[in-house]
């Protein structure tokens, strides 16, 4: 649900392009399949008790969320426009 919101809301990653409904569904499936794979990991018995409560949700949401933010941010912004807003030396703030 969190990753779907991130995908659908472009303002989270400073992009004018939201991924839309389908773009929110895709990371949800990705999180599900990643969680299914993480569940097969061999872990010590004390950690096995907290896997479905803490470890799997945090790991899967973080991995897919960050990947989607960086991928959609890079793809959604498109190529740089000519006459862009690159900082000039006059924009520098002095520390004196």
Q: Tell me the domain boundaries of the chain.
A: 2-78
Mean pLDDT rounded to a whole number for the chain: 73
Work out the percent of the chain whose per-residue pLDDT is above 90: 29
Q: What is the DSSP letter of 14?
A: T
Q: Whole-model pTM?
A: 0.59
pLDDT tens for 2-19 read 666 666 665 555 555 556
Alpha carbon separation from 79 to 71, 73, 74, 76, 82 (Å, rounded):
14, 12, 9, 9, 9
């Amino acid at each position: 649900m969190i990753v779907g919101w991130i995908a659908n809301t472009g303002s989270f990653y400073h992009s004018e392009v939201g991924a839309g409904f389908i773009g929110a569904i895709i990371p949800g499936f990705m999180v599900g399949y990643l969680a299914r794979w993480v569940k097969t990991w061999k872990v010590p018995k004390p950690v096995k008790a907290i896997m479905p409560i803490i470890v799997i949700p945090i790991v899967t949401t973080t991995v897919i969320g960050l990947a989607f933010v960086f991928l959609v941010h890079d793809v959604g912004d498109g190529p740089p426009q000519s006459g862009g807003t690159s900082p000039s030396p006059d924009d520098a703030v002095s520390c004196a």
